[in-house]
Amino acid sequence: MATTLGKQPNEAARVSVARKDGKGKRRTQVLDDSIMGTNSSSIVSKRSVERLYFPDEPHFFRGFVKKPLRRSPLINRGYWLRMKAIDQTVHRFLKSASEKQKAVINLGCG
């Protein structure tokens, strides 16, 4: 099994593994597919919360989910709780007194 580091600056930490799985895919592609699958599952869960808890607000995730699915109550409540916590934290930060300009940057970390 041979490994190589990427040549591009943004690929410096990525290791390409030459070994293939049984279906002919490179191991890195299999790992990438797994990570993208968790993103897809997350978006479906966020869409479920959006439909359940925010029916009168614009639905942002509608364009990303072809067939909405209802998630379990525990999943819905967990996503809702995280959304509320982030919303309250950002609003509290923006309303706090400061002479400096404020910015909120979403790094997309879950």
Residue 66 lies in a domain: yes
Residue 76 lies in a domain: yes
pTM of the model: 0.59
Residue 98 lies in a domain: no
- Full domain range(s) for residue 87: 3-92
Residue 110 lies in a domain: no
Q: What is the pLDDT of residues 49-101, one digit of tens each?
A: 999 999 999 998 999 898 888 899 999 999 999 989 999 999 999 999 999 99
Residue 22 lies in a domain: yes
Residue 62 lies in a domain: yes
| pLDDT score recorded for residue 10 | 42
- Helices 73-95 + 27-53 axis angle, to 10: 80
How large is the average pLDDT for residues 12-29? Answer: 58
As to burial, measured by CB atoms within 10 angstroms (0-12 exposed, 13-18 middle, 19+ buried), residue 61 is: middle
Q: How many domains does the chain have?
A: 1
How large is the average pLDDT for residues 28-55? Answer: 84
Q: 21 or 76: whose pLDDT is higher?
A: 76
